[in-house]
Amino acid sequence: MRIFYINTHKINLHKNIICFINKATAVMTAAALFCCSASAVRAEEKEPDSSLQLYAQAAVLMDADSGRVLYGKNAEDVLPMASTTKIMTCILALEYGNPEEIVEVSSYATSMPKVKLYVRQGEKYRLKDLLYSLMLESHNDSAVVIAEAVGGSVEQFAAMMNQKARDIGCYDTYFITPNGLDAVVNESGKIHSTTARDLAKIMAYCVTDSSAREQFLEITRTSGYDFTDAEGKRSFHCNNHNAFLGMMKEALSGKTGFTNNAGYCYVGAVESEGRIFTVALLACGWPNNRSYKWSDMKQLAAYGMENYHYRDIYESREFEDIPVEDGIDTRSGKPYADAYVPVRVDDRGESDLSCLLAETDQIEVKTQIAKRLQAPVMDNTEVGTVCYYLNGKLFRRYPVVTTGQVERQTYGYLCRYLLTVFLP
């Protein structure tokens, strides 16, 4: 794979799986059912609020817990991301690397352009120290040293980055470098890029879902850090350039970025009253408009905290037993008695379905359940659904299942029954 750094710029997955009819030849019939993942909340976003005037060409405010986009402006536009890339580099190094490992600098790492730590070929550093260099000062050479140590090479580390992006659910992101320098793969024409939606989702993963989230937060929230190379010959001091940490008390984490191609970029997270919001800003001005990203970040964070609050939308549901044709009544065992099977909502013990909602959000609960079943019926058979819709889009689906079994009346069963009736 040939990688070129460039100075030009540009370059869903939400599938609604509908229906299954559970029918077994003369054995069972069930109703038509809807089907969709509870985590697939891509489609609930609204039209952009006209009260927000943002500088960024693309922006997203996301509920970090659910991944739901609460505000989006050109959320799907594919754009370069500059050094916001480094949140992925950092989280992968924390998850797959050993922070205490001593790593060696390659000649390729020393060739990186500014901003850089100015490491020298053959020098050795503790991986953890380089992570502070990466996230506080955004050093491009440190990113390459980290990538080579954790992935074996920049190309292999980029493959890890892309796989992690897919694992998180970011399908419109393509990593080439660990530092975010504008780059293109010559053979495919793909550029180092993401969308505001994907970037906000990656940050949400870093601060909520990753096993290394506490280490990630510790690094990205540190105001200053001192370290030396492994031999103690050179000393370094890093200052955190994420000025947003001092602008709002709710600020949780974040990473700045800039290239001539990408413009000013930012991805950050805020936490308030148990809510975590992530914000991604791409192409948010060019020099001399460095402060635009802070204005946009404050607007979106305030918008989320003011308008969205947790509300429990769970509704308890109970159903009458469903009649079963040609079934043996389990209570009497008599062939002329009607057979029924009890059912319940399979909510896996959930009694709370809390989600961030604004006053204008609309919740609708729809139930579908089979009116009759055909024997035999097995225990824990899905016969219906309870679906929660948020602003007209499926948000959560619970199956309705049987809580018992009903056997079918067969010729042999009837014979045995008659024998018990007429023979002493």
Distance of alpha carbon 308 from alpha carbon 274, whole angstroms: 12
Residue 321 has pLDDT above 90, yes or no: yes
Q: Which of 166, 212, 171, 199 is nearest to 268 (CA)?
A: 199
pLDDT, tens digit (0-9, with 9 covering 90-100), for 170-185: 999 999 999 999 999 9
Distance of alpha carbon 335 from alpha carbon 409, whole angstroms: 7
Distance of alpha carbon 123 from alpha carbon 110, whole angstroms: 10
Distance of alpha carbon 72 from alpha carbon 54, whole angstroms: 11
- The confidence band for 330, taking pLDDT boundaries of 50, 70 and 90, is confident
Q: Which of 74, 73, 78 is nearest to 10 (CA)?
A: 78
pLDDT, tens digit (0-9, with 9 covering 90-100), for 204-262: 999 999 999 999 999 999 999 999 999 999 999 999 999 999 999 999 999 999 999 99
pLDDT, tens digit (0-9, with 9 covering 90-100), for 69-97: 999 999 999 999 999 999 999 999 999 99
Q: Which helix (H) or strand (E) covers residue 22, if one does?
A: strand 17-24
Identify the CATH number of the domain defined by range 48-307.
Answer: 3.40.710.10
User: What pLDDT is attached to residue 418?
Assistant: 64
Residue with the bigger pLDDT between 265 and 13: it is 265
CA-based torsion, 73, 74, 75, 78: positive or negative: negative
Q: What percent of the chain has pLDDT over 70?
A: 85
Show me where the domains of the chain are located: 18-40+323-422, 48-307
Residue 9 has pLDDT above 50, yes or no: no
CA-based torsion, 38, 42, 43, 48: positive or negative: positive
* Least confidently predicted of 41-55, 251-265, 342-356, 407-421: 41-55
Distance of alpha carbon 83 from alpha carbon 267, whole angstroms: 10
Distance of alpha carbon 276 from alpha carbon 132, whole angstroms: 23
Distance of alpha carbon 79 from alpha carbon 73, whole angstroms: 13
Residue 1 has pLDDT above 60, yes or no: no
Strands (E), 329-415: 339-341, 343-345, 354-357, 363-369, 373-374, 382-390, 393-402
User: What pLDDT is attached to residue 39?
Assistant: 34
Residue with the bigger pLDDT between 424 and 63: it is 63
Q: Which of 138, 186, 196, 267 is nearest to 6 (CA)?
A: 186
Please give the single-letter amino acid code of residue 323: P
- Predicted TM-score of the model (pTM): 0.82
User: What pLDDT is attached to residue 338?
Assistant: 86
Residues belonging to the chain: 424
CA angle at 22 for the pair 384 and 402, rounded to the nearest 5°: 45
